Structure 1
Amino acid sequence: MRHDAYCSRVPWRVVFHPSVVEWLQSLEPRELESFMRAVMMLEDFGPSLGRPIVGTLKGSRFNNLKELRPLSTSLRCLFAFDLKRTAILLVAGDKSLAWKSWYQSSIPIAEKRFLAHLEERSD
């Protein structure tokens, strides 16, 4: 008998920061479809999802702050997993016109929002 017959796969939960929801509303249908496909993969595979969909970040004080990289786009979304099997999508944008500076401005915002999420969850 197969081992996976006994193991039910529990998807990871994904939570969108309100600013990410607002940003998603500005996307073209093709971009939105690509982004949501990446989100579904994140739900299915959690922290084990790697390149090309998820990348690590340099310059963050949180090791678990990552970037979601929808295929064939310059769209990016910074996110982190908490201890309750939840990925929090913190900051999103199109880095096509600002490849390096996008991270410099977005990482501190993502860190602040992640800290707020952790404090909220500990109450």
Structure 2
Amino acid sequence: MAWQTLLHPDVERWLARLSSKEHTHVVASLELLQELGPSLGRPLVDRVNSSNFHNMKELRPPAGNIRLLFAFDPDRKAVVVVAGDKTNSWKKWYTKNIPLADRRYAEQLHHVKNRKGEK
């Protein structure tokens, strides 16, 4: 079973600016996520402990210190909400980007509920 992956528009723009090598590593990691879904684990995927969502994860491609924050939504889609390179800003990167990831994922959940007619 292939898992669908949705990329936030900012993630798509970020991906387009990567070097060829980084792009290759990130795309290969996203393809593994699509192939294996939630069963993909360490070292490529790990839980984000300080998120408001227990299912928020980080994808860690083997290209330097790149991280992509994502969660599976109720439609079983991997929603990639934030991406970046945390080189030289290890803890600061998470402090800045986890709240952003939480907001974007909450927006996705709201969108899914509205589409299904839920309140």
TM-score (norm 2): 0.93
Q: Report if the CA contact (8 A) 1:52-1:71 is conserved.
A: no
Instruction: Count the aligned residue pairs.
Output: 114
Residue aligning to 1:111:
102
Larger Rg: 1
Is 1:23 paired with 2:14? yes
Offset from partner CA, 1:10-63 (integer Å, 9 cap, x none): 211000000000101110000000000000000011111001110111211111
Is 1:80 paired with 2:71? yes
Q: Which amino acid aligns with 2:25?
A: S
Q: Once the two structures are aligned, what percentage of the paired residues are identical? A: 41
CA–CA separation in structure 2 for the residues paired with 1:85 and 1:58: 21
Where in structure 1 are there 5+ consecutive unaligned residues? Answer: 1-9
Residue aligning to 2:31:
40
Where in structure 2 are there 5+ consecutive unaligned residues? Answer: 115-119
Identify which of 44, 56, 60 aligns with 1:53: 44
Structure 1 segments, 4+ long, off by >2 Å, are none
TM-score (norm 1): 0.90
